[in-house]
Amino acid sequence: MAESERVRAPLPGEQGLGIKVWGTAIAICVVALVLIWPLIPPPLPKTIRFGTGPAGGVYARFGEMLRDRLAQDGIMVELVPSTGAAANVSNLLREEAPLDLALVQSGCISRDEARRLESVASVFYEPCWAFYRKELNPDTGKAMRGWRVAVGPEGSGTHDLATRLMAEDEADLVEIGGMDAVRALQNDEVDAAVFVTSIDSAWLTPLFRDPRLTLHNFPLAEAMTRHYRFLKVIRIPQGVVDLRANLPPQDTTVIATTASLVMRRNTHPGLIPLLIEICQDELAQGSLLSAPGEFPSEHYVDAPLAEEASRYFRRGPSFFYRYLPYRLAHLATRLMLLLLPLLTLLYPLFKSAGPLYRWLVLRRVYRWYRVLRALEAELDQTEDPADLAQVEKDLERVDEEIRGTSVPSRFAADLYQLRQHRRLLLDRCRARLRAAGGEK
């Protein structure tokens, strides 16, 4: 063994040990961050595209309300008008410039389309109003056979429902809706007009006030709901539209659909709690046809309810959303989702930092015991004065190396104990050397 190797502790790479340990820990955290990052919800979008309906309609007014409320949270809403609910479904599903969110009438989404969409909540009833000229007096059979009936423009929810219900009525369907249908009915250009809209729609008021027109009572309403599960029977109370004018003049049974907020599956899920919260604020008092608290609802939807919406209806808003502005709450939620896994990794590292530090420091001391044991074994195996003298020189050189070893003051006792053990071994070596006839 070379002389330099006899007194050197076998500890290659000592200087880089700390870097390796902490570098490995940091690398683990970085890898965990990379794996976790795709699972963290992205920041809230700055702009969304919302599908409404014809200008001046209930869908358009709802979209304007939503635009104003979301603007308070820094989210700009681009309102995209359309002919109605069926067109909104098509616009949600198209590849180029699709909508993020839209109002959709129940019954307008097919099963195949529902797999690509998600519902946020249903928000209000949309009764099916069928007005006709009083002198026609339809029966309960082929109620409108041979009539000219305005059923709304193609792409509207009214058109979709009316054509489905009147498939066998042998009526002459006229594809106009809104105020055009109102004027056509009042001018005797059509015999009847169908509207699927909220009771608050401006189109209905002139029809209720026209003494030549009457609202169709659906005698088979209950049977219709059994054939079309998305329909609901609603009773329109006498005088609910206008108490003073007593409009309508008697209770009327109609069928109704519901309007729902529907979104694409890749629309940011962080919008859902905010949308439901806005709807709760706006719809909490109920309406002429819905009870307080009935909307927004997780029921009466065609597309599957989004997971985030289902969680909100079951548990309410999460902790951060109850006490922070929405954007800050979303940021805090993202940070928690990021930090919790990292803290799970960092906790054992921090917990073991103390023992690891102690082990690394004492390793500087204890590594010299291997040198002393090797020299002791050599001492025990020889009687040659020359070899004993070499062991003595090595022990003296070890003392110089030990003196150059630096440890924190709280570990100094271990270092002094090492030096004492080296001194005992040196005394023993010198005693053997004297016994063998050496100088010392």
Read off the pLDDT of residues 30-79 as tens digits, 9 standing for 90 and up. 776 677 666 666 677 889 999 999 888 899 999 999 999 999 888 999 99
Ramachandran area for residue 398 (φ above 0: left; ψ -120 to 50: alpha; else beta): alpha
Domain co-membership, 367 together with 295: no
- Residue 296 and residue 356 in one domain: no
Specify the pLDDT at position 434.
84
Residues whose CB falls within 8 Å of the CB of residue 52, separated by 6 or more in sequence, listed in order: 59, 60, 62, 63, 79, 80, 81, 82, 88, 102, 103
Q: Which of 317, 343, 363 is the last residue of a domain?
A: 317
Does 103 share its domain with 160? yes
Residues 224 and 303 grouped into a single domain: yes
DSSP of 170-187, one letter per residue? --EEE---HHHHHHHHHT
Q: Which two tokens stand for residue 315?
A: 């548990």
Q: Are residues 312 and 397 in the same domain?
A: no
| Spatial distance between the Cα atoms of 382 and 77, rounded to a whole number of angstroms | 92
Q: How far is CA 23 from the centre of its chain?
A: 33
- Of 274, 295, 317, the residue that ends a domain is 317
* Residue carrying structure tokens 């928690």: 336
- With vertex at residue 177, the alpha carbon angle to CA 172 and CA 182, rounded to the nearest 5 degrees, is 95
Our count of domains for the chain comes to 2
pLDDT of residue 256: 95
Confidence band (pLDDT; 50, 70, 90) for 86?
very high
Question: What type of residue sits at position 288?
Answer: L
* Helical H segments across 115-177, by residue range: 157-165
Mean pLDDT, residues 152-168 taken together: 88
pLDDT tops 80 at residue 373: yes
pTM: 0.69
Residues 115 and 180 in one domain: yes
In which domain, by residue range, is 392 found? 3-11+352-435
Taken in order 8, 10, 16, 18, is the CA torsion positive or negative?
negative
Reduced to 3 states (helix: H, G, I; strand: E, B; else coil), residue 193 is strand
CATH of the domain at 97: 3.40.190.10
**Helix ranges, 284-352 (H):** 307-315, 319-323, 326-351
Q: Is the pLDDT of residue 137 over 80?
A: no
Q: Are residues 414 and 312 in the same domain?
A: no
Angle made by CA atoms 312, 314, 317, in degrees to the nearest 5: 35
**What is the rounded average pLDDT of the residues 115-128?**
95
